[in-house]
Amino acid sequence: MARTAYWVISEAIWGTPDNAEIRAGQLPGSIGPALAAGSESFAAASGAGSITEATLVNTLKAAVQYRLSWTLHDDVADNYPASAPQHTTWLEPPELSSPGATDVTATTARPTVTLAF
């Protein structure tokens, strides 16, 4: 069966979007586009599959709580699994590191998310 994973990132204040809103890359209530959105197709013969989505989102700000929402869509049956959508929130604090005496690098914390359906 062919499936597509869809995801959106938005500020957590907007609440949780439903499956159709995530698929469309929208905020809850379809009031506008999410801060970032994407999708990845994959094939799975059973209910398990592995998805690796590496997308740089460089518009996140420090001290703001964000929500990552994701869903899977069965493209053949045209439906979503009962466990969809799923959501996780995190606070985006800046992290500073100094690899050398003259270099200071600023990065942001990245959440690790496991899609579990």
User: What does the pLDDT read at residue 97?
Assistant: 46
Mean pLDDT, residues 46-60: 66
Report whether pLDDT(103) > 50. Answer: no
Mean pLDDT, residues 60-85: 85
What integer best gives the mean pLDDT of the chain?
A: 75
Mean pLDDT, residues 72-101: 72
Report whether pLDDT(111) > 60. Answer: no
Per-residue model confidence as pLDDT tens digits over 10-52: 998 998 999 999 999 999 998 899 998 988 887 665 555 566 6
What is the residue-wise DSSP string for the chain?
-EEEEEEEEEEGGG----HHHHHHTB-GGG-SB-SEEEEEEEE-SSS--------------TT-EEEEEEEEEETTTTB--TT--EEEEEE--EEEE-SSSS--EEEE---------
User: What does the pLDDT read at residue 112?
Assistant: 47
Report whether pLDDT(84) > 80. Answer: yes
User: What does the pLDDT read at residue 19?
Assistant: 94
Domain-wise residue ranges, the chain: 2-108
